[in-house]
Amino acid sequence: MPQKLRNERAKEARYHVTDEQFHRLTDKIKGTYSRLDQTRCDALRLEAELLEVAEEIGLEPKLTQEIITRSSTCLETMRDTRKNLVAVHNFTTGIRMQTNQAERGAGCYGLFTGEVKPELRVVG
């Protein structure tokens, strides 16, 4: 989309979001996904380690099963939390589409528009 048309559309937007606000929110959502995913990876590794140690020490099958059941509940909660985050992200993307930032897509400036790309902060 030509820059002139983008500027006109941005002026007519229902809500106005600054570039700083846009990047701050984008960084937060990406960071939240990253931390949730890393936590899930850590929980899976913990479960594997717990089961290996349970076998090494000769833990009764009933107690091992309880470890598996509780760990599964924890992992399911993490899965549901991530699904809820995706829902929030989708909802707020709909709101963003009503702002002057609607043309930004995933936050990338156009490759062929000659726009200067901003300095982005590292997340993680």
Do 40 and 75 contact (CB within 8 A), yes or no? yes
User: Hey, which residues does 15 pair with through a beta bridge?
Assistant: 99
What domain range includes position 91?
Answer: 29-100
Number of domains in the chain: 1
Is 4 within the bounds of a domain?
Answer: no
Q: What is the pLDDT of residue 93?
A: 92
Is 65 within the bounds of a domain?
Answer: yes
Q: What is the pLDDT of residue 90?
A: 96
Is 18 within the bounds of a domain?
Answer: no
Is 24 within the bounds of a domain?
Answer: no
Q: In the Cβ-directed half-sphere of 105, how many Cα atoms lie within 13 Å?
A: 5
Do 107 and 21 contact (CB within 8 A), yes or no? no
Is 112 within the bounds of a domain?
Answer: no
Is 60 within the bounds of a domain?
Answer: yes
Q: For residue 31, give every residue at least 6 positions away whose Cβ sits within 8 Å of its Cβ, in sequence order, or none.
A: 123, 124
Is 120 within the bounds of a domain?
Answer: no
pLDDT in tens, the chain (124 residues): 567 777 777 788 889 999 999 999 999 999 999 999 999 999 999 999 999 999 999 999 999 999 999 999 999 999 999 999 999 999 999 999 889 888 765 444 444 445 556 666 666 5
pTM, entire model = 0.74
85: tokens are 């985050």
